A = this chain, B = another copy of it.
């Protein structure tokens, strides 16, 4: 375990199949990034609260929260920053909130490949 933990933040859903898809989506990142984990904002477990408390208990002093969201709306502009401010103070850890993955141009390109493939039924990559 390092001094720095990466939490891949997902919204969460009351539908367990949503979380299964999400876990598959996050799997390559979790396999590649040391000391990383998934945390859900609401409705699913483990919650962001739980994962930040666990990191603090385990002696981690710096956490990067990386939202696996397509775009930043009210949740990422208001709710999550407020949650992180409270959790940072409560657990005495430094928390950085990164931009959502959907703001990176690479994601729009990947979506184009997937859309093309969905329509033709054959891999375009």
Report Cα–Cα, A41/B14, bound state, in Å. 19
Which one, B17, B102, B110, B115, contacts A21 given CB within 8 A?
A: B102
Report Cα–Cα, A26/B111, bound state, in Å. 8
Which one, B68, B74, B77, B104, contacts A70 given CB within 8 A?
A: B68
A71 partner residues in chain B, CB cutoff 8 A: 13, 17-19, 21-22, 25
Report Cα–Cα, A29/B70, bound state, in Å. 15
| In the assembled complex, A82 has its CB within 8 A of some CB on chain B | no
How many chain-A residues does the 8 Å CB contact rule pick out? 52
Query: Which of A49-57, A87-95, A116-124 is near enough to bind chain B?
Result: A116-124
| In the assembled complex, A98 has its CB within 8 A of some CB on chain B | yes
Listed by A's residue number, 23 A-B pairs whose Cβ atoms lie within 8 Å are: A13-B73, A17-B73, A17-B77, A22-B102, A25-B102, A25-B111, A26-B111, A28-B108, A29-B108, A29-B111, A32-B116, A33-B116, A33-B119, A36-B115, A66-B115, A66-B118, A68-B70, A68-B111, A70-B70, A101-B111, A101-B114, A104-B117, A107-B110
